[in-house]
Amino acid sequence: MSESSAAPSPAAHPNTVHPKVAHPNAAHPNTVAVASAAAAQGVTIEISEYPDGTRTAQDAATAVGCQVDQIVKSMIFEADGDLVLALTSGSNQVDGHRLAELAGAKTCGRANPDQVRATTGYAIGGVPPFGHQTPIRTWIDPHLMTFDQVWAAAGTPRHVFPIEPRELVRLTKAAIRDFTDNPQIGVGPHPKPWPSEANFDPDLLKNGDRRNVTDQYRYWTLEAIVADLDQRRHSFHVAIENWQHDFNIGTVVRNANAFMAAEIHIVGKKRWNRRGAMVTDRYQHVRHHPDIEAFQAWATTEGLPLIGIDNLPGSTPLETDPLPKECVLVFGQEGPGLSEDMRPVLDQCRSIAQFGSTRSINAGVAAGIAMHSWIQSHALDQ
């Protein structure tokens, strides 16, 4: 189902609805595929056909006899070249900027019909929330979770099925996040007269600022925010080995933004997994080094020691051996940690005390601990 520009109308009385229930022996191949995808996960769905169509959320609500908010719109977006799915309540609109943040992308816009069909196997207006040809990252509107039952497309613009929201989350593996154009999030249009300083963005002043930024940066341009942060950045850098396209790289970058690192260095593959960064890389300076040799040469020129964070033989405890004020904190990949090639070029290495049954700690968590340790030693007294 796609979005409808029509205002919600009162739900039709159930007695006025006369659905044509799809019979298994004469079912559309798309509905068979959707039902089979649900059955594969242990769920039986009852698919109904409405000859007048359920292409828009309002059409579906009128046919079924429910509130338009109970209709699940399966909306496909392109986020930095990757397609993502936003399961949206019928009367809500998707905020592209907020969905981009969730996807860890810089840009996010509606996918075209050919992209949608190629990825899901279905045409716009009938895209189901699961059972796609290609797995697709999915988020679900929290407003849908307020109902006992919602209705979703079953593969065509005429077929829908009811489902409990929690069951839908399980089938789609969707994350429950607010990505809609919700006036309660962020701030709305700035009251006139608008400020005239160059750091303010006219579009944000006019339309409101729904970004995940602190209040001091509301309505500011991205360039102005970065310039202001540049006046206050700390003197430690963060470097990440990028050999496995590790999801945790994004989390390390997000931590680096939170603790205001001077710069982020990606060592290895230039393309890195931005999902966990939640677009915080927009506010950071990110430098790429094609290999360890180039990275080491840069650090030597800058006079910055390379401090590995890993529980390796010979490392000293982070808890008792403070980090240098000017340094590069170097993190490895989730699982293997710092590579065999990176270890010899390090000037020092710090370990993080652990007390559980394994010797493993998540790379993103380790990065946050190390950066906060630097903050405790060098930033809290400023």
Question: So what's the pLDDT on residue 381?
Answer: 65
* C-beta atoms surrounding 166 within 10 Å: 11
Token output for 342: 């990176």
CA distance 164 to 149: 5
Mean per-residue pLDDT, 269-274: 84
Mean per-residue pLDDT, 257-280: 88
Residue 16, pLDDT > 80, answer: no
CA distance 353 to 315: 11
Residue 18, pLDDT > 60, answer: no
With beta carbons less than 8 A apart as the criterion, state whether 175 and 138 touch.
yes
**Mean pLDDT lowest for which of 116-120, 319-323, 378-382?**
378-382
**Mean pLDDT lowest for which of 5-14, 161-170, 279-288, 318-327?**
5-14
Residue 14, pLDDT > 50, answer: no
Question: So what's the pLDDT on residue 27?
Answer: 76
With beta carbons less than 8 A apart as the criterion, state whether 142 and 117 touch.
no
User: What's the Cα-to-Cα distance from 358 to each of 70, 147, 294, 354, rounded to whole Å?
Assistant: 45, 42, 34, 8
For residue 194, what pLDDT band results from cuts at 50, 70 and 90?
Answer: very high
Question: So what's the pLDDT on residue 12?
Answer: 36
For residue 275, what pLDDT band results from cuts at 50, 70 and 90?
Answer: low
Residue 67, pLDDT > 80, answer: yes
Mean per-residue pLDDT, 158-182: 91
With beta carbons less than 8 A apart as the criterion, state whether 99 and 79 touch.
yes
Q: How much of the chain, in percent, has pLDDT values that exceed 70?
A: 91
Question: So what's the pLDDT on residue 253?
Answer: 94
For residue 224, what pLDDT band results from cuts at 50, 70 and 90?
Answer: very high
User: What's the Cα-to-Cα distance from 264 to each of 7, 22, 29, 181, 358, rounded to whole Å?
Assistant: 47, 55, 50, 32, 29
pTM of structure: 0.60
Mean per-residue pLDDT, 90-117: 91
Mean per-residue pLDDT, 293-309: 98
Residues 6+ apart with CB under 8 A from 302: none
* C-beta atoms surrounding 81 within 10 Å: 7
CA distance 329 to 317: 14
User: Hey, what domains does the chain have and what are their CATH numbers?
Assistant: 14-176 (3.90.960.10), 233-378 (3.40.1280.10)
**Higher-confidence residue: 10 or 258?**
258
Question: So what's the pLDDT on residue 292?
Answer: 98
Question: So what's the pLDDT on residue 9?
Answer: 35
Model confidence pLDDT, tens digit, residues 19-30: 344 333 347 999
Give the SS3 label for residue 156: coil
CA distance 81 to 88: 21
Question: So what's the pLDDT on residue 198?
Answer: 96
Residues 6+ apart with CB under 8 A from 279: 100, 101, 104, 105, 106
Question: So what's the pLDDT on residue 182?
Answer: 67
Question: So what's the pLDDT on residue 66?
Answer: 87
Question: So what's the pLDDT on residue 7?
Answer: 34
- Cα 266 to its chain centre, rounded Å, is 20
Model confidence pLDDT, tens digit, residues 327-343: 999 999 888 899 999 99
Residue 300, pLDDT > 90, answer: yes
With beta carbons less than 8 A apart as the criterion, state whether 90 and 61 touch.
yes
Q: Which of 43, 58, 30 is nearest to 128 (CA)?
A: 30
CA distance 333 to 336: 6
Q: Which of 226, 230, 344, 335 is nearest to 295 (CA)?
A: 344
Mean per-residue pLDDT, 143-167: 91
Model confidence pLDDT, tens digit, residues 347-366: 999 999 999 988 778 899 99
CA distance 144 to 335: 37
Q: State the Cα angle at 107 between 101 and 113, rounded to 5°.
A: 115
What torsion do the CA atoms of 20, 85, 90, 124 make, to the nearest 10 degrees? -50
Residue 55, pLDDT > 50, answer: yes
Q: Which residues lie across from 86 on neighbouring strands?
A: 75, 139
CA distance 96 to 79: 9
Question: So what's the pLDDT on residue 209?
Answer: 82
Token output for 203: 């579009």
Average pLDDT over the chain reads: 88
Residues 6+ apart with CB under 8 A from 231: none
Residue 270, pLDDT > 70, answer: yes
Helices 363-378/248-258 angle, 10° precision: 20
Model confidence pLDDT, tens digit, residues 115-154: 999 999 999 999 999 999 999 999 999 888 878 899 999 9
Residue 5, pLDDT > 60, answer: no
For residue 184, what pLDDT band results from cuts at 50, 70 and 90?
Answer: low
